[in-house]
């Protein structure tokens, strides 16, 4: 389960008095169910910058504040963390996967879009996390496959430029991509460039995650398929495609975005209010049963 963690939400004033209540609830719920959790840390707080998209690498104070937050998270939820000592009734399921930022190659989440700034963020994040848990795994922020013209840098070229920064190669463990596209074939075409860049830099065995992918059952948005049946067919098509290419991609995980449809009148993003496997009343859609065909669930 991938959970977005907004820095502002856990440290609203910059005094280092972190509020973990929301994340505590998610960690507890996933641990009870035996679900592995991966948090995605992103978004600079208002007490640090006027724009949440600005990555905290422009000053020593910003970097130290970011590092302190990450270290506190690992110390609480990672291997041997205080959360697990406080909750002996839970099966200990420490967080070992830490995703740094979200879609750093598109201006929706990064301003400016800068491979150099993001490489620096990954490097300082990796050092902070590994200083508390040497076994922690650093997951790159999901690179948006092909941003709309003028909004960012394609995933492959962006990753290529990250590798130009000294020390970046050793700073991460898993690459991640968000290959949104019109259909499964085009989605695959947006994943392959990332794999090629990894291979060209000698990281043949380094794993890849798809940390967002989805199509809706609506007919009003850019990734809407027009009906629940069409959405289910898209699930079948994309999972068949990804399973067929899993070995060459070194693909270890696919996270659908998102689990359930949004209630009427709520907002998350421009296309995702009907991308769930369940409708807004909690009823399974045909896409859920299509997914279970691949997971062999009951």
pLDDT at 137: 98
pLDDT of residue 267: 73
Q: Which helix (H) or strand (E) holds 178?
A: strand 174-178
- Of the candidates 140, 154, 51, 139, the one whose C-alpha atom is nearest the C-alpha of residue 105 is 154
Phi-psi region of 30 (alpha: psi -120 to 50; beta: other; left: phi over 0): alpha
pLDDT at 144 over 80: yes
Cα separation of 185 and 191, whole Å? 10
> How many degrees, rounded to 5, is the angle at CA 279 between CA 273 and CA 280?
70
End-to-end CA distance of the chain: 19
Q: Which residue has 């929301």 as its token pair?
A: 22
Token pair for 209: 């995650």
User: Are 204 and 254 spatial neighbours (Cβ–Cβ below 8 Å)?
Assistant: no
Q: pTM of the prediction?
A: 0.96
CA distance 223 to 231: 10
As a whole number of angstroms, the distance between CA 166 and CA 168 comes to 6
Compute CA 116 distance to the chain's CA centroid, rounded to the nearest angstrom.
20
- The secondary structure of 39-107 as a DSSP string is EEEE---TTT-S-TTS-S-SSHHHHHHHHHHHHHHHHHHSTT-HHHHH-TTS------EEEESS-TTBT
pLDDT of residue 297: 56
State the virtual CA torsion across 246, 136, 6, 87 in degrees, nearest 10. 110
Chain mean pLDDT for the chain: 96
Q: Do the Cβ atoms of 165 and 119 come closer than 8 Å?
A: yes
Mean pLDDT of 152-156: 98
Alpha-helix runs per DSSP H in the chain? 7-10, 21-32, 60-77, 82-86, 115-132, 155-162, 184-200, 228-244, 246-249, 286-295
Contact indicator for 124, 69 with CB cutoff of 8 Å: no
Q: Evaluate if residue 296 carries a pLDDT over 90.
A: no
User: Cβ(125)–Cβ(66) under 8 Å?
Assistant: yes
Query: What average pLDDT does the segment 226-252 reach?
Result: 97
In terms of DSSP bridges, do strands 143-144 and 251-256 run parallel, antiparallel, or are they unpaired? unpaired
Please report the pLDDT score of residue 256 as a whole number.
96
The pLDDT value recorded for residue 265 is: 76
CA–CA separation, 6 and 57 (whole Å): 17
Q: What is the pLDDT of residue 264?
A: 80
32-43 average pLDDT score: 97
Burial class (CB in 10 A: 0-12, 13-18, 19+), 194: buried
């Amino acid at each position: 389960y991938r959970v977005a963690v907004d820095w502002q939400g856990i440290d609203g004033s910059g005094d280092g008095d972190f509020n973990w209540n929301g994340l505590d609830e998610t960690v507890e719920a996933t641990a009870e169910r035996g679900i592995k959790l991966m948090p995605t840390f992103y978004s600079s707080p208002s007490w640090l910058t006027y724009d949440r998209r600005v990555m905290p690498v422009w000053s020593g104070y910003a970097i130290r504040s970011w590092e302190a937050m990450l270290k506190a998270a690992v110390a609480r939820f990672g291997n041997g963390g205080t959360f697990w000592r406080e909750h002996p009734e839970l099966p200990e399921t420490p967080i070992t996967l830490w995703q740094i930022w979200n879609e750093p190659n598109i201006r929706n989440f990064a301003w400016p879009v800068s491979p150099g700034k993001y490489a620096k963020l990954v490097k300082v994040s990796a050092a902070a996390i590994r200083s508390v848990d040497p076994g922690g795994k650093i997951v790159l922020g999901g690179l948006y496959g092909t941003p709309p013209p003028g909004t960012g840098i394609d995933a492959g070229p962006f990753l290529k430029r990250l590798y130009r920064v000294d020390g970046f190669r050793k700073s991460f463990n898993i690459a991640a991509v968000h290959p949104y596209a019109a259909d499964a074939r085009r989605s695959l075409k947006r994943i392959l460039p990332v794999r090629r860049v990894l291979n060209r830099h000698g990281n043949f065995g380094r794993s890849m995650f798809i940390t967002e992918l989805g199509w809706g059952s609506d007919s009003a948005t850019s990734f809407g398929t027009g009906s629940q049946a069409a959405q289910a067919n898209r699930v079948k098509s994309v999972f068949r495609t990804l399973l067929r290419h899993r070995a060459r991609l070194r693909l270890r995980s696919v996270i659908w975005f998102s689990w359930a449809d949004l209630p009427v009148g709520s907002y998350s993003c421009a296309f995702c209010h009907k991308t769930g496997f369940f409708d807004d009343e909690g009823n399974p859609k045909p896409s859920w049963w299509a997914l279970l065909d691949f997971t062999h669930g009951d």
